[in-house]
């Protein structure tokens, strides 16, 4: 069966890691007709826009995309192309597995966690009031009127909306994910003891949804500060974590740290009927065009994509080939070597070649 998939190479190191991932996914034996579209710096040069409409149209049509990282330009009015894609396509769930691989240096072994982050609300909704603007002064006055609490007039304000709808939706997604992926436990992470009216809604929704799965999946709750310590001390006690947007963002980087860094961590942004797969790392502009960076995170994002399109056997083959290359530690990029200046480190495409040779 032929799969039509949108490929967004991205910018910075994006095109290099996307090329490596594309080659590996194809070599795993799936028939893919890629629709390659430009977003990011290249799109500005060709279309005068950082996120041209044809990118969103292509994903809407094909329902699945593999995306390289894209720089967040400063001062263009665009908060982030990545956030804009998630919002425009309703990709409400961000799934970030954190799994240990032999050969990747880390103080921890055998980590196998999945972070499920709510993608649409919270402080990431982008509702902000700038310091000194008349509307900010008006908001400060209203807050004082309704809460009798004073806010300094020289403050900026970011709004944190959390709804019942989105909280129930992400909690259900997390439990369904746990069921489908043979997971045993879901932990809802929050700060509802302090933010009773926003995180409180999130926690209440998670508790309600958990009841529907009580016979199959264990449910636990954890306060985000305590969770940060627990993840460092006893990461193996956890399985699937479901979090509001901001805590999800922070703890997914923490979990990437547990497994050896950003070069290894894959991700997926999933909506009702669409999904975009991308590495957790950014476009690392200083390495652009050097064929130097680690393609693992992007290749593992390709593995997640293959599972999503029901190509589980190809996904297993590709993950196993990657595991072999990582465990052998020979044909790997500089960041996976004991010393970063190790002259035996290979380039991005050469690491992909080694993985393909092991398929
Ligand atoms: P980054 O992840 O791009 O890079 C930080 C550092 O991590 C790099 O300097 C490098 O040392 C290391 N690194 C990252 N990817 C690596 C890889 N594949 N192999 C080896 N080392 C790797 O983070 P940044 O420098 O904060 O962000 C650069 C740009 O990327 C920013 O504009 C940011 O907004 C954007 N960004 C995009 C995405 C996305 O597209 N989803 C995600 C995060 C950041």
The CA distance from 17 to 56, in Å, is: 21
HSE-CB at 136 with a 13 A cutoff on CA atoms is: 16
pLDDT score of 64: 98
List, as one string, the DSSP characters of 78-90: -S-HHHHHHHHTT
pLDDT score of 46: 82
- The DSSP code for 50 is S
The CA distance from 153 to 337, in Å, is: 52
Quick check: is 225 catalytic?
Answer: yes
The CA distance from 139 to 349, in Å, is: 53
And the tokens for 135?
Answer: 């509307």
CATH topology classification for 106-115+161-259:
Rossmann fold (3.40.50)
Among 120, 96, 128, which residue's Cα sits nearest to residue 278?
Answer: 96
Contact between residue 333 and residue 292 where contact means Cβ atoms under 8 Å apart: yes
Question: Within the chain, which residue ranges are assigned CATH 3.40.718.10?
Answer: 1-92+265-359
pLDDT score of 79: 67
Contact between residue 153 and residue 137 where contact means Cβ atoms under 8 Å apart: yes
The predicted-structure confidence for 69-113, as pLDDT tens digits, reads as follows 998 877 666 668 888 899 899 999 999 999 999 999 998 999 999
Residue that has been written with the tokens 């509702």 in this structure: 127
* pLDDT > 70: percent of the chain: 98
Distance 282 CA to ligand 1 centre (A): 3
Contact between residue 227 and residue 264 where contact means Cβ atoms under 8 Å apart: no
Contact between residue 176 and residue 213 where contact means Cβ atoms under 8 Å apart: no
Instruction: Choose the residue to mutate in 10, 259, 281 for probing ligand 1, maximizing ligand atoms within 8 Å of C-beta.
Output: 281
Distance 135 CA to ligand 1 centre (A): 35
Q: How far is residue 135 from each of residues 129, 151, 212, measured CA to CA in Å? A: 7, 14, 44
The CA distance from 36 to 33, in Å, is: 9
Residues lining ligand 1, Cβ inside 6 A? 17, 69-72, 82, 262-263, 278, 281-284, 286, 293-294, 297, 335
pLDDT score of 243: 98
The CA distance from 242 to 221, in Å, is: 10
Distance 283 CA to ligand 1 centre (A): 5
Phi, psi (rounded to 5 degrees) for 319: -65, -40
Phi, psi (rounded to 5 degrees) for 158: -115, 135
Q: How far is residue 188 from each of residues 42, 181, 225, 312, measured CA to CA in Å? A: 39, 18, 13, 28
Distance 200 CA to ligand 1 centre (A): 33
- Kindly provide the b/e burial profile for residues 287-307, where b requires at least 16 CB atoms within 10 angstroms of the residue's own CB: bbeebbbbbbbbbbbbbbbbb
The predicted-structure confidence for 250-307, as pLDDT tens digits, reads as follows 999 999 999 998 889 999 999 999 999 999 999 999 999 999 999 999 999 999 999 9
pLDDT score of 76: 60
- Superfamily of chain region 1-92+265-359: Isopropylmalate Dehydrogenase (3.40.718.10)
| pLDDT averaged over every residue in the chain | 95
Among 128, 147, 16, 140, which residue's Cα sits nearest to residue 79?
Answer: 128
Among 107, 76, 156, which residue's Cα sits nearest to residue 261?
Answer: 107
pLDDT score of 47: 84
Quick check: is 124 catalytic?
Answer: yes
3-state SS of 117-147?
A: EECCCHHHHCCEECCCCHHHHHHHHHHHHHH
Of 67, 99, 191, 292, which one is the catalytic site residue? Answer: 191
Distance 75 CA to ligand 1 centre (A): 19
Return the higher-pLDDT residue of 84 and 171.
171
Quick check: is 249 catalytic?
Answer: yes
The CA distance from 144 to 112, in Å, is: 47
The predicted-structure confidence for 47-58, as pLDDT tens digits, reads as follows 888 899 999 999
Of 212, 225, 237, 342, which one is the catalytic site residue? Answer: 225
And the tokens for 99?
Answer: 């799994």
Contact between residue 199 and residue 167 where contact means Cβ atoms under 8 Å apart: no
pLDDT score of 73: 74
The CA distance from 346 to 333, in Å, is: 5
Beta-carbon contacts of residue 107 (< 8 Å; ≥ 6 apart): none
CA angle, corner 25, sides to 21 and 31, nearest 5? 140
The predicted-structure confidence for 117-166, as pLDDT tens digits, reads as follows 999 999 988 899 999 999 999 999 999 999 999 999 999 999 999 999 99
pLDDT score of 75: 62
What is residue 292's three-state secondary structure? coil
Question: Within the chain, which residue ranges are assigned CATH 3.40.50.2300?
Answer: 106-115+161-259
Q: Which residues pair with 240 in a beta bridge?
A: 114, 186
- Looking from the CA of residue 267, the nearest atom of ligand 1 is 41
């Amino acid at each position: 069966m032929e799969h039509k998939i949108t490929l967004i190479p991205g910018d910075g190191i994006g095109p290099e890691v996307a090329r490596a991932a594309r080659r590996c996914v194809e070599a795993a034996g799936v028939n893919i007709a890629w629709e390659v579209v430009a977003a990011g710096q290249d799109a500005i040069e060709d279309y005068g826009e950082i996120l041209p409409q044809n990118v969103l149209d292509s994903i809407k049509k094909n329902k699945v995309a593999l995306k390289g990282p894209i720089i967040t330009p400063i001062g263009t009015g665009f908060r982030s192309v990545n956030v804009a894609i998630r919002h425009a396509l309703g990709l409400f769930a961000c799934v970030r597995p954190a799994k240990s691989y032999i050969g990747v240096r880390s103080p921890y072994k055998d980590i196998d966690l999945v972070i499920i982050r709510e993608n649409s609300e919270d402080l990431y909704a982008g509702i902000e009031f700038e310091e000194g603007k008349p509307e900010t002064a008006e908001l400060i006055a209203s807050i004082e009127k309704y809460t009798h609490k004073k806010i300094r007039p020289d403050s900026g304000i970011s709004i944190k909306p959390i709804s019942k709808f989105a909280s129930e939706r992400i909690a259900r997604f997390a439990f369904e994910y746990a069921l489908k992926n043979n997971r045993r436990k879901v932990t809802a992470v929050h700060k509802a003891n302090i933010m009773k009216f926003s995180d409180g809604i999130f926690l209440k929704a998670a508790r309600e949804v958990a009841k529907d799965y009580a016979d199959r999946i264990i449910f636990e709750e954890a306060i985000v500060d305590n969770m940060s310590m627990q993840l460092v001390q006893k990461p193996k006690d956890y399985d699937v974590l479901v979090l509001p947007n901001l805590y999800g963002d922070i703890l997914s980087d923490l979990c990437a740290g547990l497994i050896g860094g950003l070069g290894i961590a894959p991700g997926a942004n999933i909506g009702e009927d669409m999904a975009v797969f991308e590495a957790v790392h950014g476009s690392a502009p200083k390495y652009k065009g050097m064929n130097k960076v680690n393609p693992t995170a992007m290749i593992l994002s390709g593995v997640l994509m293959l599972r999503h399109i029901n190509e589980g056997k190809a996904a297993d083959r590709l993950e196993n080939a990657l595991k072999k290359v990582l465990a052998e530690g020979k044909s790997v990029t500089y960041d996976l070597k004991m010393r970063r200046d190790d002259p035996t480190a290979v380039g991005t495409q050469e690491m992909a070649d080694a993985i393909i040779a092991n398929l």
